[in-house]
Amino acid sequence: MTDISIRNVKVLDGTGSPAFDADIEIQDGRIKTVGTAGPAKLEIDGQGAHIAPGFIDTHSHDDGAFFRYPGMAFKLAQGVTTVVAGNCGFSAIPADPSIDPARASGGILAGVEAGFTDLNGYFEAVMGKQPGINNMMLVGHNTVRAIVMGMAKRAPTQAELQHMYGLVEQAMEQGACGFSTGLIYTPGKWSQTEEIITLARAAKTTGALYTTHMRNEGDRLLEAIDESLTIGLESDVHVHISHHKSAGKQNWGKIKDSLAKIDAALGRGQRVTLDVYPYTAGSGRMIEYFNLENINRDFAEVIRIASCPPFRDYEGRMLIDIASEQAVDITDLVRTILTAPKGERTICIHFIIDEEDIATNLRHADMMVGSDGIPDLRGRPHPRLFGTFPRVLGKYVREDGVLSLPEAVRRMTSLSAQTFGLVERGKIKEGYWADLVLFDPDIVIDKATYDDPKQEPIGISTVIVNGQVALNNGQHTGVGSGKMLRYRRTAYGE
Ligand SMILES: [Zn+2]
């Protein structure tokens, strides 16, 4: 008998086509039938819900979260069945336990003791935790550079470049979907374009991607786009621009110019895609944004503290309010926080993006959705960690009409699966893996706010991961059926 039959649903198949009525049968983890379902061991009545391929979070920092929170409830509740981790140049692999993996990974591995050194070892360790969702990995430039060169502020020697190339190449051979950079971060910011071109070529052998948190997302956004396109051209690799934005009020609207540059490149036949998160604030490790010798006051004034180990009572508050309450200068407050014990672990939220730019981004046909969520559940994380996907469906599709429902689902599923090399996923199609989400487009919406960010969304009832029910009528089942995916190949261990 069939494992699962799902009836009374409207199918959004992920291709961008309008919803249609059909039943779905699942057998051995895969979609067996899209049409008429027979009897099954488990019968699911969709009660008129829409069913779509499970959402793919193209921009996550969940490498370490698979150890700390293997159930990945904050993603599952949004209908996310796969994340792409290792973004912004920071990845769990490669790891060299003798070189402080927590530092090389940009904090991603803080507190994680698993003993792996390469992607296969990482996959093995995560599978031992029975992950709630699937994971695809990028290998990060900052991590590789930190392992090979430490924090050296210079170009690599030929031998160092060879060593880094070998580490990137090994990750590609083991199934990474690309090479990521974070060129505002330490130590990536000390690299020249040539170094990135050379390392990106390691992705060419498998046809994988170059993904980038660009060198500048504000005053020099357009120059940074040019650099990214040059890297793609010179290395002959698909470029994916992470969390596309124009940061800082003086730059709002400039993304129209950067999208025009991307459209021109697409017109010339270059392969380029992007992702965006649906919020006007960014978030990251606060220490990365400040030079303690010359603290940027304007930037400090738009910061809210997400988590702060030395001063827990600052969490959820704007720096400007704390400074005025304490009658101290805001730049002194920044210095006090960042130089306190464990102060470098402080995560901040900064309000730097224009609402209209988010809509402009979402209108672009090659724009995917990526949460950029930082999975630190202490304090008050940026609400994108819990809310990204339902927010796009509720606010930008239903309320604001920025894009249609089938198109939004396409950008969260088949476009992402095709770009990031997820085999037989991202569509509702016979023979494909049964990663599925049931939701009600009339009520789906995020509930996470800056004040109360750890709230699961509403309107998402059931989520199936590799043919197993992971969220059942809003309740987490803890089934742990996620897999470690390999670029354009079978999953790890298959
Ligand atoms: Zn980033």
Q: How far is the CA of 282 from the centre of ligand 1 (A)?
A: 9
Q: How far is the CA of 326 from the centre of ligand 1 (A)?
A: 32
Q: How far is the CA of 428 from the centre of ligand 1 (A)?
A: 31
Which tokens hold the place of 320? Answer: 């400007």
Helix-strand-coil percent breakdown of the chain, rounded to 5? 35, 20, 45
Q: How far apart are CA 451 and CA 454, in angstroms?
A: 9
Backbone torsions φ then ψ of 292, nearest 5 degrees: -65, -15
Q: Using CA atoms in the order 210, 216, 217, 218, what is the torsion angle rounded to 10 degrees?
A: -160
| Burial of 423 per CB tally in 10 Å (0-12, 13-18, 19+) | middle
Q: How far is the CA of 218 from the centre of ligand 1 (A)?
A: 13
Tell me what pLDDT residue 113 has.
81
One-letter amino acid identity for 489? R
Closest CA to 199 of 126, 242, 149, 243: 149
Q: How far is the CA of 263 from the centre of ligand 1 (A)?
A: 22
Closest CA to 119 of 103, 135, 102: 135
Q: How far is the CA of 395 from the centre of ligand 1 (A)?
A: 23
Q: Is the Cβ–Cβ distance between 372 and 58 less than 8 Å?
A: no
Question: HSE on the CB side for 86, CA within 13 Å?
Answer: 31
Q: How far is the CA of 212 from the centre of ligand 1 (A)?
A: 8
Give the residue ranges of the chain where pLDDT is below 50. Answer: none
Q: How far is the CA of 216 from the centre of ligand 1 (A)?
A: 11
422 sits in the region (left: phi over 0; alpha: psi -120 to 50; else beta) called beta
Q: What residues form DSSP beta bridges with 472? A: 475
Q: How far apart are CA 83 and CA 58, in angstroms?
A: 6
The strand pair at 30-35 and 23-27 is best described as antiparallel
Q: How far apart are CA 214 and CA 185, in angstroms?
A: 10
Domains of the chain: 53-280+353-421 (3.20.20.140), 282-351 (3.30.1490.130)
The protein residues having their C-beta less than 5 angstroms from ligand 1 (an ion) are 88, 213
Q: How far is the CA of 152 from the centre of ligand 1 (A)?
A: 21
Tell me what pLDDT residue 105 has.
86
Q: Is the Cβ–Cβ distance between 12 and 20 less than 8 Å?
A: no
Q: How far is the CA of 213 from the centre of ligand 1 (A)?
A: 5
Tell me what pLDDT residue 168 has.
98
Q: How far is the CA of 170 from the centre of ligand 1 (A)?
A: 23
One-letter amino acid identity for 67? F
Q: How far is the CA of 243 from the centre of ligand 1 (A)?
A: 7
Q: How far apart are CA 159 and CA 386, in angstroms?
A: 43
Q: How far is the CA of 63 from the centre of ligand 1 (A)?
A: 14
Tell me what pLDDT residue 401 has.
98
Q: How far is the CA of 467 from the centre of ligand 1 (A)?
A: 32
Q: How far is the CA of 460 from the centre of ligand 1 (A)?
A: 27
CB burial of 362-389 (b: ≥16 within 10 Å; e: otherwise) equals bebebbbbbbbbbbbbebbbbbbbbbbb
Which tokens hold the place of 259? Answer: 């999208």
Q: How far is the CA of 185 from the centre of ligand 1 (A)?
A: 9
Q: How far is the CA of 87 from the centre of ligand 1 (A)?
A: 7
Q: How far is the CA of 477 from the centre of ligand 1 (A)?
A: 32
Closest CA to 243 of 349, 362, 135: 362
Q: How far is the CA of 182 from the centre of ligand 1 (A)?
A: 6
Q: How far is the CA of 112 from the centre of ligand 1 (A)?
A: 21
One-letter amino acid identity for 214? M
Q: How far is the CA of 244 from the centre of ligand 1 (A)?
A: 9
Q: How far is the CA of 135 from the centre of ligand 1 (A)?
A: 18
Which tokens hold the place of 404? Answer: 């249609």
Q: How far apart are CA 279 and CA 351, in angstroms?
A: 9
One-letter amino acid identity for 243? H
Q: How far is the CA of 372 from the centre of ligand 1 (A)?
A: 7
Q: Is the Cβ–Cβ distance between 4 and 398 less than 8 Å?
A: no
Which tokens hold the place of 347? Answer: 């995560």
SS3 call for 168: helix
Q: How far is the CA of 1 from the centre of ligand 1 (A)?
A: 47
Q: How far is the CA of 88 from the centre of ligand 1 (A)?
A: 4
Q: How far is the CA of 105 from the centre of ligand 1 (A)?
A: 13
Place of tokens 């599709």: 397
Q: How far apart are CA 52 and CA 37, in angstroms?
A: 17
Q: How far is the CA of 155 from the centre of ligand 1 (A)?
A: 22
Q: Which helix (H) or strand (E) holds 232?
A: helix 221-235
Q: How far is the CA of 288 from the centre of ligand 1 (A)?
A: 11
Q: How far is the CA of 335 from the centre of ligand 1 (A)?
A: 23
